[in-house]
Amino acid sequence: MGSSTAGYIIVKNGDKSRRSTYREFYGSLDKGAAKPAFCYPKRIETLKEDIAKTERALEFGQIPKDREMETKVELRKKQERLDKIGEEGSAARKLFEENKDNWMKRRESLKEEISESIPSREAVQKRIVNPHTTLQKEKGGLEDKKKEFIILSRLAGEESNVSFLQRDK
């Protein structure tokens, strides 16, 4: 893709066309976050486990009476957060599925760009990588490309670890 559409895909809806970016996958919970909440499955699983533990503790009377109401309020907030993450994840998947071919093409182009930008394993091993240059690449947009690749990969159900994109030579 050329630099004029870098980070964007063209979404065609009947007669209308518009530019779309991966930022549309972020929801109201993700303000200031590096990636949308659905990109953190371990955190979601931990939240589910925490809710289940608290529900069991309330059910078996393991919470002191003076803290019971506070615990119920905290439990309700955690459940609402979990539900909201699920809703936003579903909305993001729907948006992804509406234009899956374009998003997958974007993912493949990102895969190539990232692979070319990351120093090879051999260069790292031989210590011929300039850390300053690597940092400048990260700040110059590589970090955003990695983030976009991870988000698109999660939505596609593909491997999202960018370390696998590092070339051997």
Is 113 within 8 Å of 105 (Cβ atoms)? Answer: no
Residue 169's pLDDT is 73
Residue 153's pLDDT is 94
Contacts of 142 (CB under 8 A, 6+ apart): 114, 117, 118
Give the tens place of pLDDT for each residue, 16-32. 556 678 888 998 888 88
Q: Tokens for 101?
A: 């071919």
Residue 68's pLDDT is 93
Rg from Cα positions in the chain: 21
**Which residue has tokens 């374009």?**
102
Residue 130's pLDDT is 77
Q: Which of 43-57, 65-79, 82-96, 137-151 has the lowest mean pLDDT?
A: 137-151
Amino acid found at 13:
N
What does the domain layout of the chain look like in residue ranges?
Answer: 3-165
Task: Enter the pTM of the model.
Answer: 0.78
Give, in degrees to the nearest 5, the angle at Cα 45 between 43 and 49: 115
Q: Average per-residue pLDDT in the chain?
A: 86
Please give the average per-residue pLDDT across 28-56, as a whole number.
93
Contacts of 104 (CB under 8 A, 6+ apart): 152, 156
Is 106 within 8 Å of 86 (Cβ atoms)? Answer: no
For residue 32, give Cα distances in angstroms to 8, 17, 23, 38. 20, 29, 12, 15
Is 96 within 8 Å of 154 (Cβ atoms)? Answer: no
